[in-house]
Amino acid sequence: MPSVPEHLSNEVQRLQRELQEAQARLQSVADASGALLGKLECTLGDDGRLLFVGSDAMADQLLGKACAPFWGQAFVDLFPGMQVTEIPSALENVARTGTVLGPTSVLGEKLLSGKSFHFFAFQLAPGRVVVKFWDGSGAAETLEMRMRAQQQLAAMFSQSPAAISLTREVDGVYVDVNEEWTHLTGLSLEDVLGRTAVELGFWRTEHHREVGLRPLTNSARVRNLDLPFVKGDGTKIILQLNASRIEIGGSSYVLSYVKDVTAERAVEAELLASEQLLKAINTRLSQQIRLFESLESLALVGYWTSGHGSNAVRWSNGLYRLAGLDVGTVLDTDTGRNRILAEDRERFEAARARMDGSETEYRWSHPDGRVHWLRSRMQRWSGGDGGDAFDFGVVQDITSEREAALALQEQLAFIQKITSRAPGMVFQLRRQTDGQFKFLYLADPVREIYRGLTAEEVMQDASCALRLHHPEDLGGLLASLKISGKELKPWMHEYRLRFEDGEVRWLLGQAIPEREADGSVLWNGFTTDITLRKQAEEGLRHSEARFRALTELSSDWYWEQDAQFRFVRMEGNLEASNVMHQERHIGYTRWDSGVEGVSAAQWAAHRAQLEAHETFRDFQVQRRRADGSLMWASISGSPIFDADGRFTGYRGIGRDISARRRDEDKIERLAFYDALTGLPNRRLLIDRLQNALAFCDREGLTGALLFIDLDNFKDLNDTQGHDMGDQLLKQVAVRLGDCVRDVDTVARLGGDEFVVMLQKLSSDPHEAATHAEGVGRKILATLNKAFQLGGNEYHSTPSIGIALFQDNRLTIDELLKRADLAMYQAKAAGRNTARFFDPAMQAAASARATVEADLRQALLRNEFVLYYQPVVDENRHTTGVEALVRWSHPQRGLLSPAEFISVAEQTGLILPLGQWVLQAACAQLVEWSLRAETRRLTIAVNVSARQFRHPEFSSQILTLLRESGANPYRLKLELTESLLLTDFDDAIVKMSELRSIGVGFALDDFGTGYSSLSYLKLLPLDQLKIDQSFVRDVLSDPNDAAIARTILTLADSLDLRVVAEGVETEGQRRFLLDSGCKAFQGYLFGKPAPVELLQINAAPSRFGAL
């Protein structure tokens, strides 16, 4: 029996082997599925649960998040939803018992948005376990593909037209044969399986079999080996054998293909006669061949001939050159076939079998490494005059033609892209010589115009589109086209489409005809949906009809004025039409009778017309009806002259045009606003953009244009229909409106393209870029949220291009192009992001984004530290410190606030950062309270404007003091003047509430802002701080010296203490001390330092050691 140490050693070795084998199996599983392995380390906690203690970078990539913030937490926190599965208990068992959770017992669960993770684990040490995992979401699909491939291979084996068999290499026993093999040999499946090839007569002896298959040991192939064989019915034949060695389940097998070459060998026996026949054929074809040879070098053409049923083939010199082979190379039919690309070989073989002279195109692997396109015609010539039939083929290199066609396709795709964004549908229509119409080109909007029909369907058969035309309009449409084509005059025609659901749409077609060389007529033009315009015109006609009817029914009124323009007469059924009362106007001028809706400039122009005794028409005003409601009136009038030509007044009519004004407003909305979303359209956007450019040029401001394109919107339309796409566009429009100010513009250009115009941003381009970037981030965030479409959630992402504008030197088109190019840069960067057109602005924005991202991680990783700078009294005794935050960046080292505070302010991260500073300061106060030499020290903390304005600021400070146990009398908050003046009343409330419990307040950088005694004496302050900008030159600049003395005098009168900042020399200290300053801060007394390096010169206690 082995000793204990030896036993343990053997056990360890056994476990290591098992672990290595399990890992190897795991790796094979991962390799087979193409998965990436992530690694996690865990340890058993006191409560028996697994705690996460380490990971590698691949784990972060698989989980789509950083694992580091979860260190020390429960392992299941990394995988939301895992706690309800059996995985945690299985892994805990591995940690306790040392068993291996191997690939044969892999556990998989749908976690993290439907991903299927698989886990493998082994014990690293007692209580410590290593977990490897991968995303197995695609494994099932891979298995299904393999099974399908195996089924296809089995079907190919069974149904192959070639005679195929499978034998064991070691003894030649038949394992399987296909149906064609049994047909060829005349043997049944039962006769074959389990018997050897020698027993069945394929080989005379086992030695002959070994010699015949010997090439398998070197080249792994036996090629074209003839074997005499007697079929089941006694017929003697010659079989040609081709064989390959294959591995199945670790064993070697021979996969054989046999074919009956008895007839071919008979043909070869008569080779001399065949050659004579071919010579005769070549003699008859010599003229044609010479013609081919003279043309093939110019036309990249060659030809080949082959005896029918023969494997030998003859190529022309031109075909050798075309194929890139040396002239005279010995060839057979397989040589050509093997250089045809596999994807095209079946098409070639089909044409080779037909031999009917039809064209076929395929790709050829040229020896120069390129792939050439070839076009071939193959035909079988019958053997006239007793001769044998032979095959003949002509081959042409069409690579240049194909490349030109590809270039044309790319050009068409580019044109399609441009025309898809143009309003309406661009088309190319041909009337052929037989009178039939055929579309040659249609832009993408064909789906919108013809309700679901694709461009390909309409181009293939124009009748499917013609069937949608209104029967009453179709004849006129075709007639107008015929007239246009006959006279070659521009075509323009309005017509209707009528769909199965009864909806009618109006279209306007416009095109320019031209006559082709073959006599056909080609129209190039575009079609626009004018349904909305027609509806608006119809609405306007109805409004005008109603207005005319009202006029005929005395809805108009007649009026007269005297020479002083006072109303003297008004007639008409005014009371019944609820327009006005006569008594409100008789004796008054028009501008004295309660008219509204007219500006001072309009009144001045109107009075000038009256005083010049000119006729005026359609002077539009607003009046109050008798019921108090407003109505629009159109006033027209002409002057009255007596017989002597003297002016005596005016006469005219008034008309209620309220309905007309409403209709005009509707028409304007149709012209300037998108019908689907209600947003401004391109026309209104351009108008506003012109005004914005002029304003920025005049005022020296910078604006921004954001070009927004929804990623994969076309997929939504194609898969779920345009109704779902329209719902998404409406919701996007609403969300975009919520992201901007009232002065900004959100417009829809068409499709899934939106534009946001931000104006009046800033005179500083960098500030404007920062603001535009913030709006871009806001848009990204709001559009990343799920949309509700038809009761289902749909997720969409945008790509945003940002271009700044400042003046009129940039045209509208150039500005839109810049924003569009920036948007495509965003798409190229991976989509769901924003990019600036200006590389410098983009670099600055990226830098800010990097700082912001690092800040967020720094808060999670606790990378901030507090430095303290001493504040001393007139005896140089330390009375307190100012807390100054520093960032211990893992790559950039220690950073001062100047490098990150502004970004923290802009992004709102100043709130958690400020809260951390306060927490750290309170914790330090508690620690100092335990030591006699530091218990009386105060800590001053700078509070940002955003932090102070937070509604819960006071309650947060109170909670922090209560939970930390810090003495509120030792905490000072430093505020700036601009912060306090933003909301003076709110500042007093918050300061008073905190001061009531002992918290002190200092006014930082006093004198640099808008100092005012009127607010200073109202604020519950304890201290003023003289800014270092005044202290620096206090000995050399009389103005700074006077300011410092004034601040000290002012503070003394208000009973406020003063701290001088930035004291660096003894001379500065002496001057300030002589001027009445009792507290100092600066490098003269100590630089900011971490608490462990802070030097404190405490004043001796009056009460001794306590």
Whether the Cβ atoms of residue 926 and residue 966 lie closer than 8 Å to each other: yes
Confidence of residue 32 (pLDDT cuts 50, 70, 90): very low
Of residues 789 and 312, which shows the higher confidence score? Answer: 789
Query: Given phi > 0 = left and psi -120 to 50 = alpha, else beta, which region is 587?
Result: left
Selection from 84-88, 667-671, 821-825, 940-944 with the highest mean pLDDT: 940-944
Above 60 in pLDDT, residue 234? yes
Biggest alpha carbon–alpha carbon distance for the chain: 149
Whether the Cβ atoms of residue 50 and residue 91 lie closer than 8 Å to each other: yes
What CATH code would you report for 163-261? 3.30.450.20
pLDDT in tens, 864-883: 999 999 999 999 999 999 99
d(CA 213, CA 201) in angstroms, rounded, equals: 15
Selection from 122-131, 229-238, 702-711 with the highest mean pLDDT: 702-711
At 266, which amino acid appears? A
- Which residues fall within 8 angstroms of residue 76, CB to CB, at 6 or more apart? 50, 82, 83, 88
Q: How large is the average pLDDT for residues 527-542?
A: 85
Confidence of residue 427 (pLDDT cuts 50, 70, 90): confident
d(CA 104, CA 18) in angstroms, rounded, equals: 13
Indicate the domain borders of the chain.
6-159, 163-261, 300-406, 420-535, 554-632+640-663, 691-853, 862-1093
- Residue 892: what pLDDT? 92
- Classify 805 as helix, strand or coil: strand
Whether the Cβ atoms of residue 746 and residue 754 lie closer than 8 Å to each other: yes
- Residue 222: what pLDDT? 84
Instruction: Write down the residue that tokens 């293939």 correspond to.
Output: 460
pLDDT in tens, 996-1028: 999 999 998 776 655 556 677 788 999 999 989
Of residues 135 and 167, which shows the higher confidence score? Answer: 167
d(CA 818, CA 828) in angstroms, rounded, equals: 15
Of residues 983 and 106, which shows the higher confidence score? Answer: 983
Q: In what order do the strands lie in the sheet with 221-230?
A: 174-177, 163-168, 251-260, 236-248, 221-230
SS3 content of the chain, % helix, strand, coil (to 5): 45, 30, 30
- Residue 549: what pLDDT? 56
- Classify 866 as helix, strand or coil: strand
pLDDT in tens, 253-292: 888 888 888 888 887 777 766 667 666 666 665 656 566 5
**Bridge partners, residue 365, by sequence:** 371
Burial of 564 from C-beta contacts in 10 A (0-12 / 13-18 / 19+): exposed
CB atoms closer than 10 angstroms to residue 376:
21
Q: Which residues of 574-605 are buried (b: 16+ CB within 10 A; e: fewer)?
A: beebebbeeeebeeebbeebebeebeeeeeee
As its CATH architecture, domain 862-1093 has Alpha-Beta Barrel (3.20)
Classify the C-alpha dihedral 442-444-445-449 as positive or negative: positive
- Residue 283: what pLDDT? 64
- Residue 576: what pLDDT? 42
pLDDT in tens, 716-750: 888 888 888 899 999 999 999 999 998 899 999 88
- How high does pLDDT run on average in the chain? 83
d(CA 957, CA 429) in angstroms, rounded, equals: 77
Closest CA to 974 of 914, 929, 1029, 1014: 914
CATH topology of domain 691-853: Alpha-Beta Plaits (3.30.70)
Above 90 in pLDDT, residue 1070? yes
- Residue 884: what pLDDT? 96
Residue 779 dihedral angles phi and psi, to the nearest 5°:
-65, -45
Of residues 249 and 193, which shows the higher confidence score? Answer: 193
| Domain 554-632+640-663 is found in CATH 3.30.450.20 | yes
d(CA 625, CA 1) in angstroms, rounded, equals: 118
Which CATH number fits the domain 420-535, given the four candidates 3.40.50.720, 3.30.450.20, 3.40.30.10, 3.40.50.150?
3.30.450.20
According to DSSP H, which parts of 551-657 are helical? 600-611
Q: First and final CA of the chain: distance in angstroms?
A: 73
Angle between helices 682-699 and 658-672 (to 10 degrees): 80
Whether the Cβ atoms of residue 805 and residue 703 lie closer than 8 Å to each other: yes
d(CA 232, CA 212) in angstroms, rounded, equals: 23
| Domain 300-406 is found in CATH 1.25.40.80 | no
Q: Domain 6-159's class?
A: alpha beta
Count, residues in the chain: 1106
- Residue 105: what pLDDT? 43
Q: Is there a common fold for 6-159 and 163-261?
A: yes
- Classify 499 as helix, strand or coil: coil
| ∠ Cα 481 486 491 (to 5°) | 40
pLDDT in tens, 567-588: 888 876 554 444 455 556 787 7
Structure tokens at 367: 């020896």
Q: How large is the average pLDDT for residues 891-912?
A: 90
Above 60 in pLDDT, residue 12? no
